[in-house]
Chain A
């Protein structure tokens, strides 16, 4: 269901304390997302790509992830250049592209890819379990941490349930077509998955009560910031300052 093709590796980015990586990715993403000019995102994209090389992530899986995100970006390129008011630069058939529209599309493309590269290099290099624990240590509200960990834990279980139901339907001769019968069947199978998930939620609550859960939880792993992490965090802070300066100066 959820594969973690990037989580296993031996680079510094894989071994580093996930708290440091999580905090860095969060801060840099916030700074990048409010950037008014393309200079800061372009620099971040370069640094992000360098981080990806540093982490030595498997190429094919990486390109597939980037392609998925850029499929959404492609839609923006279809509409933004033509719908943003401004001075016309190119006329393609009946529609006119504006300079401002193209600039906006470039900005969004740079931001999206920069943030994506940073997340792939910093977040995807940790497994979900350590990220959950790191979130807990960074004082993210426990409910959110639970939601994150339980989603990861149970998406496989619910996925299995869904596969079982669809196999059962197939075994009884169900082939999806564009008919009323197909839609009714699909709707009812999805409803069954939902009902199964509700039941499981209740069972999970009971299982937590049975093991004396009382609203707060502890984590096993203790993380330690080593010399490498301090160097990394210092570099990240300087980079964040540099990006902010570029944005404030509006180059």
Chain B
């Protein structure tokens, strides 16, 4: 049972209407339970597009997205997929929907049909897991950037995803929150696909590495990530 990848791509093709070259050109990929995959690449190479296609936010023009071994084609299929796969958007403000923290984190559990009391419990547990125990009544627009990121992560984790997709999770994070994020991911059971051009972070949270070249995923040897290792006066600062 555990051999079935949670999320897989089979010969997936995607192109923006006016672009000459497809962004994803017959891409294959699979994410097995517990796997930690890092994906890096320059801006505009199709990383965010790939994640959006995986979640069914953008429709493929060829190939299949597979969830638990079954192709997802209709909106209902992708609803099932989104129950099991959490997606953390790059910009936290895009993902926080409610004025108060607890309402926002409980939004997913309520959508999954939990009773209000249960949903609130799940939300509180998720907030505790990301280290925001006392935040439930805080107003979301008054949070700092790092706190917003952790609230959105709690919102995703409250749905107990089997897999987690992270889109540039460390963009504009302070070193402290970045460190907490690494710690949280270490204690998480779910498979994680991290997309980032923060090499250090990627290296801390992933064990397999890919990049996108010409619309295809290319596996990278982990050692190649270490070429830039060097002494640094501020080792906690990402660079």
The reply on A218 being an interface residue by CB < 8 A is yes
Interfacial chain B residues near A156, Cβ < 8 Å:
141
A220 and B96 contact, CB distance less than 8 A: no
Q: Which of B91, B97, B156 is in CB contact (< 8 Å) with A153? A: B97
Within 8 A of A (CB), among B202-226: none
A143 → B minimal CB distance (Å) = 15
A218 and B141 contact, CB distance less than 8 A: no
Contact with A along B75-106 (1 / 0, CB 8 A): 00001001100110101011111111011001
B159 and A212 contact, CB distance less than 8 A: yes
- Complex Cα distance A222/B95, Å? 25
B180 → A minimal CB distance (Å) = 22
A211 and B107 contact, CB distance less than 8 A: yes
Interfacial chain A residues near B89, Cβ < 8 Å:
203, 206-207, 210
Count class of interface residues, chain A = 20 to 34
16 CB contacts below 8 A, A to B, read A128-B99, A129-B103, A149-B98, A153-B96, A153-B99, A200-B93, A203-B91, A206-B89, A207-B97, A210-B55, A210-B57, A211-B111, A211-B159, A217-B110, A217-B111, A219-B110
Contact with B along A102-145 (1 / 0, CB 8 A): 00000000000000000000000001110010000000000000
Residue of A nearest to B96 (CB): A153
The reply on B194 being an interface residue by CB < 8 A is no
The A interface is mostly helix, strand or loop, or mixed, namely helix
The reply on A50 being an interface residue by CB < 8 A is no
Interfacial chain A residues near B93, Cβ < 8 Å:
157, 200
- Complex Cα distance A203/B166, Å? 16
- Complex Cα distance A220/B57, Å? 28
Which residues does B use to contact A, with CB under 8 Å? 52, 55-57, 79, 82-83, 86-87, 89, 91, 93-100, 102-103, 106-108, 110-112, 116, 119-120, 123, 140-141, 155-156, 159
Asked whether A153 and B98 contact (CB < 8 A) given A206-B57, A210-B82, A214-B111, the answer is: yes
The reply on A174 being an interface residue by CB < 8 A is no
Given contacts A149-B99, A157-B141, A200-B94, 15 further A-B contacts (CB under 8 A): A129-B100, A149-B98, A153-B98, A153-B99, A153-B140, A156-B141, A204-B97, A207-B89, A211-B82, A211-B107, A211-B108, A212-B111, A218-B111, A220-B120, A220-B123
Residue of B nearest to A208 (CB): B97
A158 → B minimal CB distance (Å) = 10
Interfacial chain A residues near B159, Cβ < 8 Å:
211-212
The reply on A213 being an interface residue by CB < 8 A is yes
Residue of A nearest to B113 (CB): A218
B155 and A220 contact, CB distance less than 8 A: no
A204 and B94 contact, CB distance less than 8 A: yes
The reply on A150 being an interface residue by CB < 8 A is yes
Interfacial chain B residues near A217, Cβ < 8 Å:
107, 110-111
* Contacts between chains A and B (CB distance < 8 A), count: 84
Contact with B along A203-246 (1 / 0, CB 8 A): 11011111111100111111000000000000000000000000
Residue of A nearest to B91 (CB): A203
Interfacial chain A residues near B120, Cβ < 8 Å:
220
Q: Which 4 A-B pairs rank lowest in CB-CB distance, beginning with the nearest?
A: A203-B94, A156-B141, A218-B110, A211-B108
- Complex Cα distance A219/B108, Å? 11
- Complex Cα distance A152/B96, Å? 12
A55 → B minimal CB distance (Å) = 21
B57 and A150 contact, CB distance less than 8 A: no
B184 → A minimal CB distance (Å) = 19
Within 8 A of B (CB), among A173-204: 200, 203-204
Interfacial chain A residues near B91, Cβ < 8 Å:
203
A207 and B98 contact, CB distance less than 8 A: no
A220 and B99 contact, CB distance less than 8 A: no
- Complex Cα distance A229/B103, Å? 25
A166 → B minimal CB distance (Å) = 19
A146 → B minimal CB distance (Å) = 9
Interfacial chain A residues near B119, Cβ < 8 Å:
218, 220
